[in-house]
């Protein structure tokens, strides 16, 4: 599903050149649940943003569903994002002025889905995530865990090929954070492909594989099911 080869990202100013990523190579297959870990500045968020087509690489190759993403124009990237990628953010990124229903519905509007189909889809995903009774509420009326469920519903509403989760429990207490991780685990069990960035060893333990990054390179990978570390030469 995702094939990344020798991907590099350089941030350049008049005085400083910073290598955020240096020849990173990763393969993620359909149905995988992969975590990226590393300290601040390791390059994990930069990599996630490139995978999500929110940023561009300086060099290398990034194929999504056998299509090369490097060099696409913004309009092409936007189309690929809307059709294939769902985002779950640490800060939820819900619109306070819109109801839960309207927040979930928004991506369908952007994709020009008919009104009757939108209603059916929103109600179905809300029931699936246990927030049907909250559709008329507004984000500020919900707990953090409920807000993240709404964010997950919004991410799933267009049936994305891959879910990108950026510190999905970062703003939650342990109880609500655990609920969100169990939710992502359930989605994975149902066939979802998930790439998650986290600082939490506990959250990473829910995934199949953990990739460790430092200073823009991959240090090692860990198969969580077998508890085996693989050093990257």
The string of pLDDT tens digits covering residues 34-88 is 999 999 889 999 999 999 999 999 999 999 999 999 999 999 999 999 889 999 9
pTM: 0.88
- pLDDT averaged over the chain? 92
Residue 230 pLDDT more than 80? Answer: no
DSSP per position, the chain: -EEEEEEEEEEE-SS-EEEEEEEEEEEE-TT-EEEEE--TTSSHHHHHHHHTTSS--SEEEEEETTEE-TT--HHHHHHHHHHHEEEE-TT----TTS-HHHHHHHHHHHTT--HHHHHHHHHHHHHHTT-GGGTTS-GGGS-HHHHHHHHHHHHHTT--SEEEEESTTTTS-HHHHHHHHHHHHHHHHTT--EEEE-S-HHHHTTSSEEEEEETTEEEEEEETTTTEEEE--
Q: Would you list the domain boundaries of the chain?
A: 2-231
Q: What is the mean pLDDT of residues 122-130?
A: 92
The string of pLDDT tens digits covering residues 170-214 is 888 898 889 889 989 999 999 999 999 999 999 999 999 999 999
The CATH number of 2-231 is: 3.40.50.300
Q: What is the pLDDT of residue 207?
A: 95
Q: What is the pLDDT of residue 171?
A: 87
pLDDT band at 228 (very low <50, low <70, confident <90, very high): very low
């Amino acid at each position: 599903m995702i094939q990344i080869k020798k991907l590099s990202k350089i941030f350049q100013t008049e005085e400083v050149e910073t290598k955020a990523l240096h020849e990173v190579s990763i393969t993620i297959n359909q149905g995988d649940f992969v975590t990226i870990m590393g300290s601040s500045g390791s390059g994990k968020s930069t990599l996630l943003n490139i995978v999500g087509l929110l940023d561009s690489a300086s060099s290398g190759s990034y194929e999504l569903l056998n299509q090369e993403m490097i060099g696409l124009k913004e309009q092409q990237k936007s189309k690929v994002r809307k059709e294939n990628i769902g985002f779950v953010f640490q800060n939820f990124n819900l619109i306070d002025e819109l109801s839960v229903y309207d927040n979930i519905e928004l991506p369908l509007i952007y994709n020009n889905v008919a009104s009757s189909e939108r209603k059916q889809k929103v109600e179905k995903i809300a029931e699936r995530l246990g927030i049907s009774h909250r559709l008329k509420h507004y984000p500020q009326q919900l707990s953090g865990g409920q807000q993240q469920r709404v964010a997950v519903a919004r991410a799933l509403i267009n049936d994305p090929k891959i879910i990108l989760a950026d510190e999905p429990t970062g703003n939650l207490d342990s109880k609500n954070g655990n609920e969100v991780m169990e939710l992502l685990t359930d989605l994975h069990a149902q066939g979802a492909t998930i790439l998650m960035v986290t600082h939490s060893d506990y959250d990473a333990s829910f995934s199949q594989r953990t990739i460790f990054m430092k200073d823009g390179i991959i240090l090692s990978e860990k198969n969580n099911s077998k508890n085996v570390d693989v050093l990257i030469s």
